Protein backbone atom coordinates (compact mmCIF):
# COMPACT_ATOMS: atom_id res chain seq x y z
CA UNK A 1 0.00 0.00 0.00
CA UNK A 2 1.27 3.44 -0.95
CA UNK A 3 0.54 6.16 1.59
CA UNK A 4 -0.43 9.66 0.49
CA UNK A 5 2.10 12.45 0.78
CA UNK A 6 1.33 14.78 3.66
CA UNK A 7 0.92 18.57 3.73
CA UNK A 8 1.05 20.21 7.12
CA UNK A 9 -1.24 23.20 7.36
CA UNK A 10 -1.00 25.76 10.16
CA UNK A 11 -3.64 28.22 11.31
CA UNK A 12 -3.82 31.50 9.39
CA UNK A 13 -3.41 33.26 12.75
CA UNK A 14 0.14 31.96 13.08
CA UNK A 15 1.25 34.04 10.08
CA UNK A 16 2.05 37.74 9.96
CA UNK A 17 1.10 39.95 7.05
CA UNK A 18 2.60 43.32 6.17
CA UNK A 19 2.77 45.48 3.07
CA UNK A 20 5.54 46.73 0.83
CA UNK A 21 5.83 49.07 -2.14
CA UNK A 22 3.94 48.10 -5.29
CA UNK A 23 5.53 45.58 -7.66
CA UNK A 24 5.48 47.38 -10.98
CA UNK A 25 5.76 46.05 -14.48
CA UNK A 26 9.34 45.49 -15.55
CA UNK A 27 9.17 47.81 -18.53
CA UNK A 28 8.28 51.45 -18.54
CA UNK A 29 6.97 51.52 -22.08
CA UNK A 30 5.18 49.19 -24.43
CA UNK A 31 8.12 49.53 -26.84
CA UNK A 32 10.59 48.29 -24.18
CA UNK A 33 8.35 45.41 -23.34
CA UNK A 34 7.85 44.51 -26.95
CA UNK A 35 11.61 44.44 -27.50
CA UNK A 36 12.18 42.31 -24.41
CA UNK A 37 9.45 39.86 -25.25
CA UNK A 38 10.64 39.46 -28.83
CA UNK A 39 14.13 38.64 -27.61
CA UNK A 40 12.79 36.22 -25.00
CA UNK A 41 10.48 34.48 -27.40
CA UNK A 42 13.14 34.11 -30.08
CA UNK A 43 15.67 32.79 -27.60
CA UNK A 44 13.31 30.40 -25.86
CA UNK A 45 10.44 29.59 -28.19
CA UNK A 46 8.45 29.01 -25.04
CA UNK A 47 7.84 30.95 -21.87
CA UNK A 48 7.69 28.98 -18.66
CA UNK A 49 6.12 30.26 -15.51
CA UNK A 50 6.23 28.67 -12.09
CA UNK A 51 3.56 29.24 -9.48
CA UNK A 52 3.14 28.36 -5.84
CA UNK A 53 0.31 26.70 -3.94
CA UNK A 54 0.53 28.04 -0.37
CA UNK A 55 -1.90 26.46 2.07
CA UNK A 56 -3.08 27.59 5.49
CA UNK A 57 -6.03 26.51 7.63
CA UNK A 58 -9.03 28.46 8.87
CA UNK A 59 -12.15 26.96 10.49
CA UNK A 60 -10.54 23.52 10.17
CA UNK A 61 -10.51 23.70 6.37
CA UNK A 62 -7.54 24.20 4.03
CA UNK A 63 -7.31 27.64 2.40
CA UNK A 64 -5.09 28.81 -0.43
CA UNK A 65 -3.30 32.16 -0.73
CA UNK A 66 -4.10 34.02 -3.96
CA UNK A 67 -3.01 37.45 -5.16
CA UNK A 68 -5.67 39.71 -6.59
CA UNK A 69 -4.74 42.35 -9.17
CA UNK A 70 -7.34 45.09 -9.52
CA UNK A 71 -10.85 43.99 -8.61
CA UNK A 72 -11.19 40.81 -10.58
CA UNK A 73 -8.13 38.92 -11.71
CA UNK A 74 -6.75 36.37 -9.21
CA UNK A 75 -3.47 34.54 -9.60
CA UNK A 76 -1.13 32.26 -7.74
CA UNK A 77 2.10 33.87 -6.50
CA UNK A 78 4.90 33.19 -8.97
CA UNK A 79 5.91 34.36 -12.41
CA UNK A 80 8.02 33.79 -15.49
CA UNK A 81 11.43 32.17 -15.38
CA UNK A 82 14.45 33.95 -16.81
CA UNK A 83 16.01 32.20 -19.83
CA UNK A 84 17.81 29.09 -18.55
CA UNK A 85 16.79 29.64 -14.94
CA UNK A 86 16.23 26.62 -12.70
CA UNK A 87 12.54 26.14 -11.82
CA UNK A 88 12.98 25.81 -8.07
CA UNK A 89 15.37 28.78 -7.83
CA UNK A 90 13.10 30.80 -10.08
CA UNK A 91 10.06 30.08 -7.93
CA UNK A 92 11.99 31.06 -4.78
CA UNK A 93 13.05 34.32 -6.45
CA UNK A 94 9.48 35.08 -7.50
CA UNK A 95 8.03 34.24 -4.07
CA UNK A 96 10.53 36.50 -2.37
CA UNK A 97 9.79 39.26 -4.86
CA UNK A 98 6.01 38.88 -4.45
CA UNK A 99 5.68 38.03 -0.76
CA UNK A 100 9.03 38.34 1.00
CA UNK A 101 10.08 41.19 3.28
CA UNK A 102 12.33 43.81 1.68
CA UNK A 103 15.26 43.01 3.89
CA UNK A 104 18.32 41.03 2.86
CA UNK A 105 18.52 39.76 6.46
CA UNK A 106 15.04 38.26 6.18
CA UNK A 107 15.16 36.34 2.89
CA UNK A 108 12.60 33.55 3.43
CA UNK A 109 13.68 29.95 3.15
CA UNK A 110 10.88 28.72 0.86
CA UNK A 111 10.42 24.95 0.93
CA UNK A 112 9.42 24.13 -2.63
CA UNK A 113 7.69 20.76 -2.72
CA UNK A 114 5.93 18.59 -5.29
CA UNK A 115 5.03 19.73 -8.80
CA UNK A 116 1.26 19.13 -8.78
CA UNK A 117 0.33 20.26 -12.29
CA UNK A 118 1.86 21.17 -15.63
CA UNK A 119 -0.29 23.21 -17.97
CA UNK A 120 0.92 23.90 -21.47
CA UNK A 121 -0.94 26.37 -23.64
CA UNK A 122 -0.34 27.00 -27.34
CA UNK A 123 -1.87 29.98 -29.07
CA UNK A 124 -2.53 29.67 -32.79
CA UNK A 125 -3.46 32.39 -35.23
CA UNK A 126 -6.59 31.30 -37.11
CA UNK A 127 -7.11 32.82 -40.53
CA UNK A 128 -10.78 33.71 -40.94
CA UNK A 129 -12.26 33.85 -44.40
CA UNK A 130 -14.41 36.72 -45.55
CA UNK A 131 -17.65 35.13 -44.39
CA UNK A 132 -18.17 32.95 -41.34
CA UNK A 133 -21.11 32.04 -39.17
CA UNK A 134 -20.44 31.88 -35.44
CA UNK A 135 -22.87 30.16 -33.08
CA UNK A 136 -22.17 31.30 -29.53
CA UNK A 137 -23.26 29.04 -26.62
CA UNK A 138 -25.92 30.84 -24.58
CA UNK A 139 -23.91 30.67 -21.36
CA UNK A 140 -21.04 32.61 -22.96
CA UNK A 141 -20.72 36.10 -24.36
CA UNK A 142 -18.63 36.80 -27.45
CA UNK A 143 -16.64 40.01 -27.04
CA UNK A 144 -14.97 41.93 -29.86
CA UNK A 145 -12.03 43.67 -28.22
CA UNK A 146 -9.62 46.11 -29.93
CA UNK A 147 -6.00 44.99 -29.66
CA UNK A 148 -4.95 48.27 -28.00
CA UNK A 149 -7.34 47.48 -25.13
CA UNK A 150 -5.35 44.31 -24.33
CA UNK A 151 -1.90 45.99 -24.06
CA UNK A 152 -0.55 45.49 -20.56
CA UNK A 153 -4.09 45.09 -19.25
CA UNK A 154 -3.21 42.09 -17.09
CA UNK A 155 -5.80 43.21 -14.50
CA UNK A 156 -8.62 42.49 -16.84
CA UNK A 157 -7.30 39.89 -19.28
CA UNK A 158 -4.62 37.98 -17.41
CA UNK A 159 -0.98 37.39 -18.34
CA UNK A 160 -1.54 35.47 -21.58
CA UNK A 161 -4.22 37.48 -23.40
CA UNK A 162 -2.68 40.83 -22.39
CA UNK A 163 0.51 40.02 -24.29
CA UNK A 164 -1.16 39.03 -27.58
CA UNK A 165 -0.53 42.46 -29.19
CA UNK A 166 3.22 41.92 -28.72
CA UNK A 167 3.01 38.36 -30.05
CA UNK A 168 1.30 39.66 -33.16
CA UNK A 169 3.83 42.43 -33.79
CA UNK A 170 5.66 40.33 -36.36
CA UNK A 171 2.56 40.16 -38.56
CA UNK A 172 1.44 42.70 -41.09
CA UNK A 173 -2.29 43.35 -40.89
CA UNK A 174 -3.96 43.57 -44.24
CA UNK A 175 -7.25 45.38 -43.60
CA UNK A 176 -9.65 44.33 -46.32
CA UNK A 177 -12.77 46.39 -46.81
CA UNK A 178 -15.71 44.75 -48.53
Please identify, using beta-carbon distances, which residue of 28 and 60 lies nearer to a second copy: 60
Q: Shortest gap between Cβ of 84 and a second copy (angstroms)?
A: 14
How big is the site for a second copy, counted in residues (CB under 8 A)? 121
**Considering only residues 28, 61, 104, 105, which one is a binding residue for a second copy as defined by CB under 8 A?**
61
Cβ–Cβ < 8 Å for 28, 71: no
Taking CB under 8 A as the criterion, the residue among 26, 58, 83, 89 binding a second copy is 58
By beta-carbon proximity to a second copy, the closer residue of 29 and 155 is 155
What's the CA gap between 121 and 157, in Å, rounded?
16
Torsion of CA 146, 152, 153, 155, to 10 degrees: 160
| Cα distance between residue 111 and residue 9, in whole Å | 13
Q: Closer to a second copy by CB, 31 or 177: give it.
A: 177
On whether the CB atoms of residues 85 and 111 are closer than 8 A, the answer is: no
Q: Does 64 bind a second copy (CB under 8 A)?
A: yes
16 binds a second copy (CB under 8 A): yes
Torsion of CA 167, 169, 170, 175, to 10 degrees: 120
Question: What mask of x and - would describe binding to a second copy in positions 132 to 151, judged by CB under 8 A?
Answer: xxxxxxxxxxxxxxxxx-x-
Amino acid sequence: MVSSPVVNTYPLSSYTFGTKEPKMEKDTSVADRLARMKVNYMKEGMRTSVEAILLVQEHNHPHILLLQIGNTFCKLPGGRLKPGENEIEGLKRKLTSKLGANSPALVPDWQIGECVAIECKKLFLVHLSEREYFAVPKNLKLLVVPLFELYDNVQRYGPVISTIPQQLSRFRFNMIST
